[in-house]
């Protein structure tokens, strides 16, 4: 039986993650409050950030940026796509 969480991203009950995807207290918070669907949305957004900003996740400054963006994406604070980002599905550039 799937574990259900009250997902703060989706604003509804949804299937939870099977393990904490990040270490420490932040990982516990994600495990308890973020659904699988919301986590997949974050992974897609993170991939876009890495590609658009040409980030290297092993670089401490890049890692810090990604963690900050992850917290904003998952727990509020707002996120924006990089300036000039064009959605590969045919969207328009960001301003």
Say if 88 falls within a structural domain. Answer: no
Average pLDDT score over the chain: 90
Tens digit of each residue's pLDDT (9 = 90 or more) over 69-95: 999 999 986 776 777 767 777 655 554
Write down the pLDDT at residue 79.
73
Say if 17 falls within a structural domain. Answer: yes
Say if 52 falls within a structural domain. Answer: yes
Say if 90 falls within a structural domain. Answer: no
Write down the pLDDT at residue 95.
46
Which residue range forms the structural domain that includes residue 37?
4-75
If you average pLDDT over residues 22-38, what whole number do you get? 97
Say if 87 falls within a structural domain. Answer: no
How many domains in the chain? 1
Q: d(Cα 41, Cα 35) in Å, to the nearest integer?
A: 10
Say if 86 falls within a structural domain. Answer: no
Are the C-beta atoms of 48 and 81 separated by less than 8 Å? yes
């Amino acid at each position: 039986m799937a574990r259900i969480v009250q997902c703060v991203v989706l604003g509804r009950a949804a299937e939870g993650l099977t393990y904490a995807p990040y270490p420490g207290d932040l990982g516990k918070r994600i495990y308890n409050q973020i659904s699988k669907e919301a986590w997949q949305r974050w992974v897609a957004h993170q991939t876009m950030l890495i590609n658009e900003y040409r980030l290297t996740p092993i670089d401490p400054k890049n890692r810090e940026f990604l963690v900050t963006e992850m917290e904003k994406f998952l727990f509020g604070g707002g996120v924006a796509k990089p300036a000039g980002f064009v959605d590969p599905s045919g969207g328009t550039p960001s301003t």
